[in-house]
Amino acid sequence: MSMLIRTCRRGLASLYLSTRTGAALTVALSLGASACASVIGEHEVETKFLVKPTSQSTFSGWSELSVSEDPNSVDRAELMYIRLEARDNNVPDLTFLKRVSAAAVVDGESTVVAKKAPMPAGERIVPLERVYHDDIRHFFYKDDESGDYTVHVDWEGEVDRTKTIPAEGVWMKVLVAVRIE
């Protein structure tokens, strides 16, 4: 099952994403592997995004991930976890992020799959709270233009402007795990 990741960014403020950014949250909803037989099991995907200081405190954006095969060719797909980590060793914790959430969108209907607020003090690695526990295959829709099956994720958050962020920003690593049955 080959994948194509399309990431778009739309900075409403403090978060700027790399070309792979939203992919982490989106890949949490994907089936990522090359064939159905090999897709069964637990899979982790890593991506990153850059948080830069600006005059605004909110951020939002969206991402899409496409697979060439019908997600219904497997019995079940489930989000296991999404974990954030500061890649910059000079950042003591993630409290410069007040909150973050990820929502899968199908036919205009949004379903929050993971979120976190507030970030714990002293922790450089923070798991998001998984709020969606059901099968994630139905988040994929048939893209008539490409023929692929695509999942669209909207995400948003808020940066604590009272915290100091280096002028060059802070690179965040996102680790996502899914279980395919």
* Positive or negative: CA dihedral 19, 16, 103, 123: positive
Q: What kind and span of H or E run contains 23?
A: helix 21-27
pLDDT attached to residue 12: 30
Q: How many domains does the chain have?
A: 1
pLDDT score for 4:
38
Q: What is the mean predicted confidence (pLDDT) over 138-164?
A: 85
Number of neighbouring beta carbons within 10 Å of residue 126:
21
Q: In the chain, where does DSSP find H-type helix? A: 21-27, 36-39
Q: What is the pLDDT of residue 26?
A: 37
Contact criterion met (CB below 8 Å) for 112 and 136: no
Structural domain span for residue 33: 3-180
pLDDT in tens, 55-83: 888 877 666 666 777 888 889 988 888 88
The residue behind tokens 């008539």 is 144
What percentage of the chain carries pLDDT values higher than 90? 25
| pTM for the whole structure | 0.72
Q: What is the pLDDT of residue 5?
A: 39
Work out the mean pLDDT of the chain and round it to a whole number.
75
Question: For residue 11, what pLDDT band results from cuts at 50, 70 and 90?
Answer: very low
CATH number at residue 95: 2.60.120
Tell which wins on pLDDT, 105 or 54: 105
